[in-house]
Structure 1
Amino acid sequence: MSEQKPTLEWFGATTFRLKANGVTLFLDSWLERPSPLKSYLSIDQVDECDYILISHAHFDHLPGTDRLAKKTGAIVIGNGEAITVMREAGVPEAQLIPVAGGERIPLFTKAQRDEATKAAVTGSTAGPRGPPQPDENDARLVIHAWPSLHCLGLPVDHRDIPETIDTATVYEGALSKYSCTLDLTRALTYGFGSLIKAPQLPPWMTEDMKSFIGYMKDREQNRYSFYDGGQILYNILIGKKTLLWNGHLGGYEGIMRDIEPRPDVAVLGIAGRGNLNGRPFDGSAAEFAVKEVQWLGEPSKIVWCLHDEGAINPKFIKTEAATEQVEAETKSKVFTLDHGRVWDIFS
């Protein structure tokens, strides 16, 4: 195997392409986005993909996975809801791996998997244990899946959410003493769900919002669920180094404190309000990020995601406060990625 420097490319929101040890992975797959959002890579431009890791099943994370998997033969790894949506979209069962957190999965190149299917690799098995697999000792990468949490909405009526929010802004309290991710599921199901079914859109709706609703309506082309299915955090072992990806500003303190191996680099969602152990975090996103970075053992490098232009309010996230506080209160350094530019992860 020729030496390959692990690289990461960002295509907006939480969608990345990771290349390492001959394996190509997509982290989420929201490549083709509703206008007026810019798309930086089309599915037609992707010729190679071995695996697709899905953080959760929402509209800005899952769409495109079915088409990408069918085109490239990639294995899709995600929570049960995401896998169900992919199964209904016609992705073959042999390309689907459901996870809930706690799984450890060796990853291989497509060529290795094809050889195993032809029974050319020692240790290949079939039958009740699943599709033929290469010898686990030949794994190029390993992923550990962990339960995590979606961020929470702001403690204001959705109609009052501003276009831009600042990671320095402190939020306290909640609209309900039971505020949790169920609120997001209900908001999508009964809010956007009703708009999708409406024969006419309200006259007050802006053109970009109308475009977004049109995108949401086309559920044959854009496969997603109103239910996130349970956020998954992935720790990706690349030789002796580790890249962690948590696509939202949420998680369980105990899990993040105990994750082994400790990540060298962490890609972290920075939008919304922190969701700590299933409850709204009282404080700013910047304060939550500092705690998250500390719990993860202060990785040497931090990369924010989910902070660029979104489809609905808040459309923009000001990350300066989070960056300043993390760099002031931890040993970690924050790196800013440009869309579509290759980043050498560990150098």
Structure 2
Amino acid sequence: MKENKKFDFIILISVIFLIVFGLLNLYSVSKYLVVKQFFWDLLAIGAAIFVYFLKENLIKKLVIPLYIISVVLLAAVLIFGTRVYGSIRWFRFFGLSFQPSELSKLALILMLSIIFVKKDLRSLFFSILVLSVPVFLILREPDLGMSVLHIFVWFTMLLFSGVSFKYILPIVGSGIGAIPIIYFFFLKDYQRARILSFLNPEKYAQGAAYNVIMSKNAVGSGGLLGRGYLISPAVNGNYVPKMETDFIFSAIGEQFGFLGSILVLAAYLVIIIRVFSKMKDFKDNFWRLVSVGILSAFVFHVFENIGMNIGIMPVTGIPLPFLSYGGTSTFIFGIMIGFLFKSLALVDKSRKVIL
């Protein structure tokens, strides 16, 4: 089978739209960050192109080394990383920051794609081990949001792997039963406060729920068409903390309103539908599972970030792809888009899936 040598321009246009829209929105929030973000956006596009042109055999050979490197970096950041707001999640050098957990989610997706090619009980247990190591290290940072993201990606890929449901159902039951234990014995006080503030925001209006309340007010004030680019009160007054990162969607909602928000969601939806519609045509299960894992990561990021901006999800540090300010996340998202391009290039025109 020959590879398609053209980009999937529908996904490419959607990504470029998100990048341009994100830069314009970021400019309204923090003008001095735009140049840095533009640099990371260029690197992300370059990374997508680079991955697209990698040989398939080379990619598969790099999966295990990449996973090992990601685990080593997660362990190293706990020792050599920089503490910010009580968490140690970043390496900082020469004015740049690198967050190993962002690399870890990509490495996990690729590793699970190899493991789940075999749909047996041994693969399931091995996948749990491969998941547990990065999740344990990320919880030590601590970063609950990224830990949940890893688990969500693993579970979604498990559902699409073909592993028998008689093995999956006991795991689901065990996971649900473990929730109270995790809440009372493993979560930090501020993490429990975020959950409680999500359930009862009025009680924590001056504390853990403050950011969410201000964000909801900003989004709600945008109405249908928004309050206007560069003239919206919350954006100009910097009323919403972390508006350039965690709460970037509040700036979109206030300035561009419901219609602008829908355009952003439509761009993400185009990417998801475009890849999902080709899922049964991919060359083999490895590429199908890679695409499932990447789509699940995108869905989690979009749903969680927008959800916490409008008060329907607890607050975490999960960024909005190509819209939130951030170097590591943008770069990794670019690599993920490259893998989607690669998966679509390996579509079997005969519409036969190799099982």
> Shorter-chain TM-score: which interval?
under 0.3
Q: Which has the higher strand share?
A: 1
User: Using CA pairs below 8 Å that are at least 6 residues apart, which structure has the higher relative contact order?
Assistant: 2
